[in-house]
């Protein structure tokens, strides 16, 4: 595990502090960490408690999720795109945002389909929250590793009463198909990456979020059994909609670009 400082201790520290979810590979947190590490940006890791109310974190950053990055006395940055732009500013090389305006637009669009509200990660969570509700009501054997109170916190933060579990699952399938199509198309053009001919943040986001539907090998990413089981169950529910090319690409990004095993 990384060496974390507590939220109250982090508030008064100088430099870049990044609040992460310790001990499990929360996809937004892992992606932020991959981006900072790839660029060699130093920061103080700060520990968040998942799905808990935290007055100090709210007062400090205006929200309670992880990841959130705070540089000196600047405003906090909690969205995936804000954190990416901050990292690019602090260390422009290697750049993870294409220079070409059209590719840049494609990169942010595709990344939003992975990490943005109503994207892959968001719909995974909606799908799981529906299963947890059923399990807590005694209607399903789905394992729930959050308490009733924590599930309520998650519903308040991320819930969408208009989206059924089936709707969340079809959105995930549509996004996975889009990612696979994009990889096939770029491969035909001679590039192994999602956008253009080099690594961009979109590849990083897919790599990190892939754990939700196809957990990484243990030697790449040791994680709690319950978390691995959750991703495996999601993969089984999605069946053969996960094109092999997505997993090959994820493994290639891990091998070529990231320090393994991942630590969090
Ligand atoms: N704020 C992020 C989303 C981050 C996010 O969804 N974080 C989740 C990771 S599972 C989280 O912190 N969940 C637990 C919590 O809210 O305590 C964004 O908009 O890009």
CATH number for the domain that contains residue 45: 3.40.30.10
CA of 79 to the centre of ligand 1 (A): 9
Mean pLDDT for all residues in the chain: 97
- Digit-coded pLDDT (tens) for 143-192: 888 899 999 999 999 999 999 999 999 999 999 999 999 999 999 999 99
Q: Would you state the pLDDT for residue 176? A: 98
* Ligand 1 mean position, distance from CA 185 (Å): 31
Determine the distance separating the centroid of ligand 1 and the alpha carbon of 159, expressed in angstroms. Answer: 12
At 59-76, the pLDDT tens digits run 999 999 999 999 999 999
Task: Tell whether 74 and 122 lie within a shared domain.
Answer: no
What is the pLDDT at residue 90? 98
Tell whether 106 and 84 lie within a shared domain.
Answer: no
Shortest-distance Cα residue to atom 9 of ligand 1: 26
pLDDT in the model for residue 63? 96
For ligand 1, residues with CB inside 6 Å are 26, 28, 50-51, 64-66, 78-80, 115, 157
- Residue range(s) defining the domain that contains residue 193: 101-257
User: Which carries the bigger pLDDT value, residue 104 or residue 142?
Assistant: 104
Q: Could you tell me whether strands 68-71 and 16-20 are parallel, antiparallel, or unpaired per DSSP bridges?
A: antiparallel
> Which candidate, 151, 150, 157, 159, places its Cα nearest to that of 133?
151
70 phi, psi to nearest 5 deg: -130, 120
Same domain, 122 and 173: yes
Q: Confidence class of residue 142 from pLDDT cuts 50, 70 and 90?
A: confident
On the question of a cis peptide bond just before residue 248, with omega within 30 degrees of 0, the verdict is no
Output DSSP code: residue 195: S
Average pLDDT over residues 9-14: 98
pLDDT per position as a tens digit, 188-220: 999 999 999 999 999 999 999 999 999 999 999
Residues 86 and 148 in one domain: no
First-last CA distance in the chain: 5
Instruction: Say what the pLDDT of residue 143 is.
Output: 86
CA pair distance 56, 62, nearest whole angstrom: 9
What spacing in Å lies between the alpha carbon of 154 and ligand 1's midpoint?
9
Same domain, yes or no, for 187 and 253? yes
Q: Which of 90, 123, 146 is at the close of a domain?
A: 90
In this structure, is residue 128 part of a structural domain? yes
Same domain flag for 107 and 234: yes
Judge contact between 261 and 37, C-beta under 8 A: no
pLDDT at 241 over 90: no
pTM above 0.85, yes or no: yes
Mean pLDDT across 103-126: 98
């Amino acid at each position: 595990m990384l060496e974390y400082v507590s939220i109250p201790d982090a508030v008064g520290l100088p430099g870049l502090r990044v609040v992460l979810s310790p001990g499990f590979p929360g996809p937004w947190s892992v992606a932020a960490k991959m981006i900072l590490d790839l660029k060699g940006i130093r920061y103080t890791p700060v520990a968040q408690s998942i799905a808990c109310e935290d007055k100090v974190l709210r007062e400090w950053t205006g929200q309670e999720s992880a990841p959130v990055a705070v540089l000196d006395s600047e405003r906090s940055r909690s969205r995936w795109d804000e954190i990416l732009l901050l990292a690019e500013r602090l260390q422009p090389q290697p750049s993870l945002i294409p220079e070409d305006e059209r590719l840049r637009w494609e990169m942010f669009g595709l990344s939003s389909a992975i990490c943005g509200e109503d994207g892959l990660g968001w719909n995974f969570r909606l799908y799981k929250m529906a299963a947890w509700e059923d399990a807590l009501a005694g209607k399903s054997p789905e394992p729930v590793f959050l308490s009733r109170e924590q599930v309520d916190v998650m519903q308040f933060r991320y819930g969408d009463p208009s989206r059924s579990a089936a709707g969340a699952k079809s959105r995930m399938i549509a996004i996975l198909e889009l990612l696979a199509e994009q990889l096939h198309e770029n491969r035909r053009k001679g590039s192994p990456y999602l956008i253009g001919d080099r690594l961009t943040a979109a590849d990083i986001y897919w790599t990190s979020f892939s754990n939700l539907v196809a957990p990484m090998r243990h030697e790449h990413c040791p994680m709690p059994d319950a978390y691995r089981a959750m991703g495996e169950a999601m993969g089984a529910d999605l069946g053969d909609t996960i094109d092999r090319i997505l997993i090959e690409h994820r493994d290639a990004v891990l091998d070529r670009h990231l320090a393994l095993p991942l630590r969090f």
